[in-house]
Amino acid sequence: MTSARLKPLPRLAAGLLLSLVSAAACERPVEPAPAPAETAPAASARPAARADKPAPRDIPEPTPAPAGDEAARTRGTVVLVPLKSFPEDLIADIETSLAAEFGVEVARYDIQQLPKEAYYPPRKRYRAEKLLDFLEELPPAREPDTKLLGLTEVDISTTNEPHEDWGIFGLGRMPGRVAVLSSKRLKRKAKDRAHVIRRVRITALHEIGHTFGLDHCPEQRCLMQDAEGSIKNTDTASGTLEPGCRAKLERNAPLR
């Protein structure tokens, strides 16, 4: 799949607004308690990952998109929306990865300022569900077969009962049109830049997977596996959908 540039459309096109999809959000909590702001990353309220999990290994580089007739078939378009700022090397890798793994066209939208209404002063971070609401209002979200992925470097959070404000890697509506990820916590204790890129890649694929209706996967190393309270499952993920999730993706959104 190729990557395209998408310029913002006039906001006056409100008449084209589709009904917003209301669905469960993927909560990937990344801290053991709501009080400290700089807790080690975790991604779920579930128990910590089992100690007998396979040792981390390099995630393979994204497979090139198929050529010929297969390359012309897509599941739609994913529009990348930088929120305030996002590094170019991470964006480029996300573009390639989404096209290869999900069979989508990828476009970029102009940088957007973080919405003030999403800011959470007590923790000095941004509420992910409000960022999703903001993305839902952008013109590309009104186009058929189009999803938006917000990309930010600031810390984000959501509610994870009983905690009102829980730091996360990303959030995606399932099924839905919008997802968001933050590189803030994915950079913590990374070995090098390549390690950061891999973590961001897995998180981007995971959250877009939710928008296609893919829930957390019980298969070890599937990119849709629940993080189970730490970064470990992200680091040991294969970078691809395992057979069960692949089959569900084909049922939910076949190539056209």
In this prediction, residue 69 carries a pLDDT of: 53
Buried b (16+ CB within 10 A) or exposed e, 167-184: bbbbbbbbbbbbbbbbbb
pLDDT band at 61 (very low <50, low <70, confident <90, very high): low
Give the domain 24-32+65-252 fold: Collagenase (Catalytic Domain) (3.40.390)
Domain limits, the chain: 24-32+65-252
pLDDT higher than 70, residue 103: yes
pLDDT in tens, 30-55: 444 444 433 333 333 333 333 333 34
How confident is the model over 142-160, as pLDDT tens digits? Answer: 999 999 999 999 999 999 8
* 219 noted as active-site residue: no
The conformation of residue 68, written as its DSSP 8-state character, comes to T
| pLDDT for residue 71 | 56
pLDDT at 60 over 60: no
pTM assigned to the model: 0.75
- Tell me the pLDDT tens digit for each residue of 178-222: 999 999 999 999 999 999 999 999 999 999 999 999 999 999 899
**Which pLDDT belongs to residue 230?**
82
What value does the mean pLDDT of the chain take? 81
Q: Which of 27, 31, 136, 207 is catalytic?
A: 207
In this prediction, residue 23 has a pLDDT band, given cuts at 50, 70 and 90, of very low
Taking CA atoms, 150 is separated from 14, 224, 233, in Å, by 20, 19, 22
Q: Mind giving me the DSSP string for 14-51?
A: GGGPPPPP--EE---B--SSSS-TTPPP---SSPPPPT
Residue 112 bridge partners (DSSP): 83
Radius of gyration of the chain (CA): 17
Confidence at residue 83, expressed as pLDDT on a 0 to 100 scale:
98
Q: What distance in Å separates the CA atoms of residue 220 and residue 96, rounded to the nearest whole number?
A: 24
